[in-house]
Structure 1
Amino acid sequence: MPVDITTWHLEQTDPARLRPAAPPTDPVDITRAELVSPELNRYLYTAVGGDWFWTDRLAWTWPQWRDWLDRPGVETWVASLRGTPVGYVELDGHAGGEVEIAYFGLLPQFTGRRIGGHLLTAALERAWSLAERWPSLPATRRVWVHTCSLDGPAALQNYQARGMAVYNTVVEPSATPAATPGPWPGAARP
C-alpha cells in the first residue's frame, strides 16, 4: 500500500554556520576507515539502516562496494564507544566542490546519548576539510544531505540543529514494505 514519504534536502553553504553539538555522555572516538573495506561498510549500512528502510545497497556485490568506496573523496568515519562501533558517516566528495553526507546514523542501542549530534558535528567538520585530504578535489563550497520521514525521528532536527538549512522538500507516494529489513535476515532483535 503506497504511503506518502516526505524527503527533506538540506545544505550548509558556509562552515561558519556549523553549530557544534554538546559532547556525548560517554567519550566517543571518531576515526576514519582509511582502508577500503566493503565488509565494514556493508555491516555499518545494514546495522544502522536496517530499521530505517535503507535498501538501496542491499543487493550490491562486493566489487560494487569496493568500486564505490575506492573513489577519490569517498570517506567513511566510524564512531566508537570503548572500541565498539556505534555509528558512522559516509562522505562523498564531488568534483564541483560539493560534499554529500551519503549515509549517517547510529546503531539503535546507542541513540539518546548525544552521540548523533557529536558525530554530525565531526562529519560536517570533515566535509568542510575534505579537499585537504583529497588534493584532486576543489575546496568544499557546499555540504548537503537528504533525509526522509522513514529515517530516525531525530534526524531532521539534528541536521537543522547543526546549522543545515532545508532547501527543498518533496512529498511522494512510495510502496514501502510493511516491515524494515532489520540488520540481517532472521535477526529477531528485541
Structure 2
Amino acid sequence: MDTENTSLPNGYSAVPAGKIANVVTCLEMLEKPPAKTVRAPETGLSVERWENPDLGEYRALFRAVGEEWMWLSRLVMPDEKLSAILSEPDVDIYTLKDGRRRVGLLELDFRTLGECELVFCGLVSDAIGQGAGRALMNAAIDRAWERPIKRFWLHTCHFDHPGAIAFYQRSGFRPYASMVEVTDDPRLTGQMRRDAAKHVPLIEPR
C-alpha cells in the first residue's frame, strides 16, 4: 500500500456532503508471535479452505460480515475481476464455520514475494465477542507464516469494530502508517442499505 502521498494540512479539512472520510491504519508483524488462547469451544468451530467460491455465496458472506463496517470493495467489483482474484493460486480464502454455518471470512494474499496481506478477517455479528475472532486470527497467523514470508500486514479503518486495532495489536501486529481515504457514501449510491453502519453519520447533499 502506498503511504507516500502528500500529507494533509494541519487542522480541519472539509469533506463534501455525500462522501465519507475514513482514517486508515496500517499494521504489520515481522515474525510469528506465540499463539494466543482461544476462548471459544472447539466443538463445531472449524476453519476451512474455500476453493473457487461461487461469487454469489462469497458476496453474501462478505456482506453479512462487513456491511456494518462499511466493507464495500468486493460488492462493487466487476465479476470478472473478483473471479480472477478468488481463483489466484496465491490468494487463499477460508471460512470459519460453526457446525455447517459460515460465520467468518478470512482472505490471505501472497502475491507479493516475501509478504502476506491479511485482506479480510471478520465475523458475522452474532459470532462477535465469543472468542471466534481469536480462532480465526490464530488460523490466519499460522497459515501466513507457513509460507516463507518476512512480513505479514493489514490495514483497517475507524469504520471497523471499535476494538479492531487493539485486537490486532494483541495479536502481534504493530501500527506503522496512517492515511485518510475519501469515497462516495455507498448508502447514498444504493450499494449498501441506507441503515447500514449506523456509527458512521449519513450526510446527504443539500
Distance 2:61 2:85 in 1: 15
C-alpha separation in 2, matches of 1:88 and 1:182: 24
| Letter of the structure 1 residue corresponding to residue 80 of structure 2 | P
Choose from 175, 178, 182 the match for 1:174.
Answer: 182
1:118 aligns with 2:135: yes
CA shift digits 1:56-95 (9 cap, x unpaired): 2222233222111111210111101121111111111124
CA distance, structure 2, for counterparts of residue 20 and residue 81 of structure 1: 20
**Aligned-residue CA RMSD in angstroms?**
2.8
TM superposition shift of 1:18: 4.2
5+ residue gaps, structure 1: 132-138
Change (3 A) 1:31 1:182: farther
What residue is the counterpart of 1:35 in the other structure?
52
Q: Aligned pair in 2 of structure 1 residues 89, 127: CA closer, same or farther (>3 Å)? A: same
Superposition TM-score, scaled by structure 1 size: 0.81
Kept in 2, the 8 Å contact 1:51–1:181? The answer is no
Alignment pair present for 1:75 and 2:83? no
Say if 1:11 and 1:186 are closer, same or farther in 2 by CA, change over 3 A. closer
Kindly report which structure 2 residues correspond to 1:42-81, keeping only aligned pairs within 5 A, or say none: 42-81=59-98
Contact 2:39 2:130 in 1 (8 A): no
Q: In 2, distance between residues paired with 1:34 and 1:123? A: 16
Q: Percent identity?
A: 27
Q: Which has the larger radius of gyration?
A: 2
Question: How many angstroms apart in 2 are the aligned matches of 1:108 and 1:72?
Answer: 30
Which of residues 28, 40, 45 in structure 2 aligns to 1:24? 40
Counterpart contact for 2:114–2:150, Cα < 8 Å: yes
